[in-house]
A and B are shown apart, each in its own frame.
With several copies, the nearest count.
Chain A
Amino acid sequence: MSWTREKMCERASKELEDGFYVNLGIGMPTLVANYISEKNNVTLQSENGMLGMGPFPKKGEEDPDLINAGKQTITSLPDSSFFSSADSFSMIRGGHIDLSILGAMQVSESGDLANWMIPGKMVKGMGGAMDLVAGVKKVLVLMDHNAKDGSPKIVNKCSLPLTGKEVVDLIITNLGVFEVDKGIKVLEIAPDITKQELINNTEADLVFS
């Protein structure tokens, strides 16, 4: 049985150590915020210029001047601070963010990441993704193990244009948890998934320990 999205997010949240400053990408990574316990002091950064991102607002409390990088209405917290885009990316580029969680189209065995562009399709832009993967201390990819057409997303070499080269540290999919460190090391396998199933669904060579 492969992991549900909820289970994947919960697993990803375990990577958020006490005191971590974390940037969560748009989409599934945003949901990881639901699994942050109040006990461990995790601070969320939003690259449009905010540290200390709070939950979504209650109805009627939304503020058009207070949005996250996905343009969603959010709230602030007592320890929040606001700053410019330049200051925000100085924080990111300068290696001050401990962890970034992003979605991906492809990850290669050397940690190359592709998640911004499909040739031939309209390109919306890379936004802050290239800055995040180049600057943040640890990059975690949270994605389905296979594309919708069933093709593997953990590949020998990305066929799609890269977002960053040798940037991914950890991959969490619905089938398992993988460390990128001179190859793809299998750290955990979802329940009832066999090694062979993992191998069948992965193009890159897997290292089992």
Chain B
Amino acid sequence: MNDKTFKKVYKEAKEALEGVLFDGMVVMSGGFGLCGLPENLILALRDSRVKNLTVISNNAGTEGQGLGLLLETKQIKKAISSYVGENKLFEKQYLSGEIELEFNPQGTLAERVRAGGAGIPAFFTATGVGTLVSEDKTHQSFKGKEYIMETGLTADLSIVKAWKGDKSGNLIYRKTARNFNPVMATAGKVTIAEVEELCEVGELDPDYIHTPGIYVNRILEGKDYSKAIENLTLSEE
């Protein structure tokens, strides 16, 4: 989507989602566990009541957190993830057949998203060869080693969370909150970014931009980040 008006900045997550949602759409959401989640946009997505979503995200959130919120409202039809542990509601909906699940190895998922954003329809990987993941997939040998073909993934909408962003859409992530966000930003027909700090154009150093503004159609400064810690682990001393 090219936003002809070049007005990328939105005040509220709800407003930022206007005009891009439709039932049955494919949504990518950045984040690893509860780290680097687009919290405001997930809430707004829940409140929109858009349904039959296919959600591409490494995890499915926990109960009451992250994409877990969209499970409560039964907005998710299918999840493409690498790991959905720690979520009883997901388990229940999956076992009852309410939700469809496609597991991808985490690196394959990341690369499929990267490929989707980079105009690469398919690539070969050794990951998953000889496992359930390779069933029905094209096998090919290169230099005597076996690989399977995986396809690129794109989404109707990508929602990502960054640390800082400027009004032209340039993004910088913080520590391991980066995770899937940069690749997902490249693979959405529309990409909406929420940031902890919205900066003026020129405040970010061009050498250290993680996501160039071209990938971000809409941007907003998020609020009330819970930044929950899933597994607080402290050193003993």
Chain A residues in contact with chain B, CB under 8 A?
17-21, 40-41, 43, 45-52, 55-59, 62-68, 70-74, 76, 78-86, 88-98, 112, 117, 122-131, 134-135, 161-166
CB distance from B68 to the nearest CB of A (A): 14
Our pick among B106, B119, B132, B207 for the contact of A95 (Cβ within 8 Å) is B119
**Pair B108/A131 contact, Cβ less than 8 Å:** yes
Q: Identify the closest chain A residue to B163 (Cβ).
A: A65
Q: Identify the closest chain A residue to B35 (Cβ).
A: A67
Contacts of B201 in A (CB 8 A): 78-79
Contacts of A74 in B (CB 8 A): 233
**Pair A62/B130 contact, Cβ less than 8 Å:** no
Q: Is B76 an interface residue (CB 8 A)?
A: no
**Pair B111/A162 contact, Cβ less than 8 Å:** no
Contacts of A17 in B (CB 8 A): 2, 4
Contact residues of B between 127 and 183, Cβ < 8 Å to A: 127-133, 163, 166, 168, 170, 173-183
Once bound together, how far apart are the Cα atoms of A73 and B84, in whole Å?
A: 19
Our pick among B6, B106, B207, B229 for the contact of A73 (Cβ within 8 Å) is B229
**Pair A94/B117 contact, Cβ less than 8 Å:** yes
Q: Is the interface of A mostly helix, strand, loop or mixed?
A: loop
Q: A94-B186, A126-B105, A127-B82 are in contact. Are A82 and B175 (CB under 8 A)?
A: yes
CB distance from A49 to the nearest CB of B (A): 5
**Pair B131/A161 contact, Cβ less than 8 Å:** yes
Contacts of B4 in A (CB 8 A): 17-19
Contacts of A48 in B (CB 8 A): 32, 35, 176, 179
Q: Identify the closest chain A residue to B94 (Cβ).
A: A122
Once bound together, how far apart are the Cα atoms of A89 and B235, in whole Å?
A: 28
Number of A-B contacts (CB under 8 A): 246
Which of A20, A40, A91, A134 counts the most B-chain CB atoms under 10 A from its CB?
Answer: A134
**Pair B83/A125 contact, Cβ less than 8 Å:** yes
Chain B residues in contact with chain A, CB under 8 A?
2-6, 32-36, 58, 81-86, 91, 94-95, 103, 105-111, 113-114, 116-120, 125-133, 163, 166, 168, 170, 173-183, 186, 201-202, 206-207, 209-210, 212-215, 227-235, 237
**Pair A55/B235 contact, Cβ less than 8 Å:** yes
Q: Could you show 16 A-B contacts with beta carbons less than 8 Å apart?
A: A48-B179, A49-B176, A52-B206, A56-B235, A62-B232, A65-B36, A68-B176, A86-B182, A88-B110, A90-B118, A93-B118, A125-B103, A126-B103, A130-B105, A130-B108, A135-B126
Contacts of A83 in B (CB 8 A): 178, 209, 212
**Pair A94/B234 contact, Cβ less than 8 Å:** no
**Pair B186/A128 contact, Cβ less than 8 Å:** no
Q: A51-B212, A65-B35 are in contact. Are A41 and B231 (CB under 8 A)?
A: no
Contacts of A46 in B (CB 8 A): 176
Q: Identify the closest chain B residue to A42 (Cβ).
A: B6
Contacts of A80 in B (CB 8 A): 206
**Pair A85/B32 contact, Cβ less than 8 Å:** yes
Contacts of B58 in A (CB 8 A): 85
Q: A122-B91, A126-B103, A128-B82 are in contact. Are A94 and B119 (CB under 8 A)?
A: yes
Our pick among B110, B168, B186 for the contact of A85 (Cβ within 8 Å) is B110
**Pair B130/A164 contact, Cβ less than 8 Å:** yes
**Pair B234/A21 contact, Cβ less than 8 Å:** no
